[in-house]
Amino acid sequence: MEKKTYPEYSIHYPLLLTTFMKRPARVYPNEIGVVYRNHITGKYYRFTWLEWYHRTCRLANLLQSLGIKPGKPGVLGDRVATLALNTHRHFELYFAVPCSGAVLHPINIRLAQDHIIYTINHAEDSVIFFDDTLLELVEGIYDKIKDTVKKFVYMSDNPGLPTTKIKNLYEYEVLLAKESDEFEWPHLHEDNYASLCYTTGTTGLPKGAMFTHRALYLQTLHLIAHASFINDPSYALLGENIVFLMITPLYHVHAWCAPFIYGFLAAKLVLPGTFTVEGFCELVQTEKVTDTAVVPTILALLVEYEELDQYNLSSLTYVRVGGGALPLGLKAKVEKKIPGFSATSGYGMTETAPTTVRSFVKKYMIDWPKERLDEVRVKTGLPIPGIEVEVVDENGKSVPHDNKTLGQIVIRGPWVIEKYFKNPEKTAEVWYDGWFHTGDVAKVDEDDFIIIADRMKDVIRSGSEMIPTVLLENLATMANFVLEAAIVGVPDEVWGEKPLALIKLIANSNKTEDDFIEFLKVEGVDKGKITKWMLPKLVAIVDEVPKTSVGKYNKREIRRNIRNYLDIAKSIT
């Protein structure tokens, strides 16, 4: 019988990553689209968009040859895991796997080994594609995952397989060469699962966040559209002329959506393997990188790099900062070092794919003085249009916009996960009353900007006072002599808890613990940003603040070694 209508080609046309993948090869087949630099050998590998597309087609055929099965709405396809850095091969996997109907599981290589093993077995990964540089890691976990993982694919710039105990090991480039460079991409349903990303599990086992094609498509599209909305010269457009250096690892929540955004845009993507300051500077100079996205700690590394001045970084005009609040002090330091550099901040989490909030200058602010605008730009921000973000009290009521009252950030929208993979208990902990509960504490100012204050579990309770540590940390790093600052609560007989500050000073600083507290008094207490009750009672000057695998302050680690820090801390009276 002849078909009467085509909902799947009209109003139910599926929102698929396939649409993003196909575009560059159609629009700019002969332009260099993907550049990979091996961070060890320093060698460059360049691909036109058509070459990249053909390799991705080969990979899709290869997945079929390996027996990888597609899923359907509600049922995950086979899981294909990656243990890989930011290479062109990893980028190929980012499209070939989901667009052929399977589920991509990018493993966070910086998780504890036990957690890596846990996620592989929990995800039931069928195949793992891994980099040559991570061979040792795979060998180390092999015995505990070999019952789950049926096949291993070795990715390297050099031909040949290593001598190893790993069975069923294949060579990526050899397999690819055997396949056709055409592939009939399936017209999937948009509710097909595309990716499975595990949380870093700082408070327990990692949880698996599942994303559909629709969720990732809609996040990408809203982010690009939002870039057009805004009237803030420091807020970069997402346009095809960008040269984007992808620093954020592809194993961190889709590298903040970068493969999808820049793929769809057909903007040139520069892949550095892993971040090194030298590699960063060379690639910016060589490829004329215009945009990048980093965590604040990477900015701190750049500021400290002594040979920074020897590179021409003038093409770099825009840096997106995420994975932690951007301290204003750090921002100022980077702007001084890299002319033309500008940055805004944002907020999100694994469960939200990740971006949900971005800071930008509202149109009635545009004539404010630069200092005031900079303060706006480092606020956590406003919801991306298309997603709902509120800060609510314990009864689920929005807190007043008074720049003071704290509440929990709750979110809902098309790119928030519906549930964790095989974990209904954890799902029920976050999803109730029609909102996803982030566990993050924030306040809202008079202009409707959300300002993150803390993780709920990190808030210090001192007497009847709540001391929001992230708020304090951000204030602390506004001091031009402070590079990093982490605040944790330590037990106190009278108050229950009292705040301890760990601070890392800039090189060759002769500032003291008292100078630090004096700064907080003048810039914080006197200006009404904090109360005097919030001032740290202990300050320890340290060489390094411990960080998690994604570059955030590792407060669990700090608490574990709290004795050492208390030993060197100065008591403030």
- What residues make contact with its own copies under the rule CB under 8 A? 2-7, 9-13, 15, 19, 23, 26-28, 31, 191, 211-212, 214-215, 218, 221-222, 224-225, 227-231, 237-241, 264-265, 362-364, 382, 385-386, 412-419, 424, 427-428, 431-432, 434-436, 448
SS3 label, residue 500 = strand
CB 169 within 8 A of CB 161: yes
> Encoding tokens for residue 522?
């003048």
Nearest-approach distance from CB 11 to its own copies, in angstroms: 5
Which residue number, 382 or 442, has a Cβ lying nearer to its own copies?
382
Which residue number, 227 or 456, has a Cβ lying nearer to its own copies?
227
**CA 84 to CA 106: how far, in whole Å?**
8
Which residue number, 30 or 564, has a Cβ lying nearer to its own copies?
30
Distance of CA 560 to the CA centre of its chain: 26
**CA 200 to CA 208: how far, in whole Å?**
10
Nearest-approach distance from CB 349 to its own copies, in angstroms: 14
Which residue number, 26 or 461, has a Cβ lying nearer to its own copies?
26
Nearest-approach distance from CB 431 to its own copies, in angstroms: 6
Nearest-approach distance from CB 437 to its own copies, in angstroms: 12
Nearest-approach distance from CB 433 to its own copies, in angstroms: 9
> Encoding tokens for residue 100?
């052929």
Q: Is the dihedral of CA 152, 158, 164, 167 positive or negative?
A: positive
**CA 252 to CA 318: how far, in whole Å?**
21
CB 384 within 8 A of CB 188: no
Phi, psi angles (nearest 5°) of residue 475: -65, -45
Which residue number, 6 or 44, has a Cβ lying nearer to its own copies?
6
Helix (H) or strand (E) holding 566: helix 562-568
Which residue number, 145 or 216, has a Cβ lying nearer to its own copies?
216
End-to-end CA separation in angstroms for the chain: 86
Which residue number, 38 or 192, has a Cβ lying nearer to its own copies?
192
Alpha-carbon dihedral angle through residues 464, 468, 471, 475, given to the nearest 10 degrees: 60
Q: Is the dihedral of CA 153, 154, 158, 162 positive or negative?
A: negative
Nearest-approach distance from CB 33 to its own copies, in angstroms: 12
**CA 492 to CA 337: how far, in whole Å?**
42
Phi, psi angles (nearest 5°) of residue 571: -80, 135
Nearest-approach distance from CB 411 to its own copies, in angstroms: 9
Using alpha carbons, select from 372, 20, 32, 446 the residue that is nearest to residue 214: 20
Nearest-approach distance from CB 224 to its own copies, in angstroms: 4
Which residue number, 27 or 40, has a Cβ lying nearer to its own copies?
27
Residue at 561: amino acid letter: N
Matching residue, tokens 């208990």? 425
Residues forming a β-bridge with 501 = 487, 539
Nearest-approach distance from CB 27 to its own copies, in angstroms: 7
Which residue number, 151 or 426, has a Cβ lying nearer to its own copies?
426
CB 36 within 8 A of CB 20: no
Residue at 325: amino acid letter: A
Nearest-approach distance from CB 445 to its own copies, in angstroms: 14
Which residue number, 353 or 478, has a Cβ lying nearer to its own copies?
353
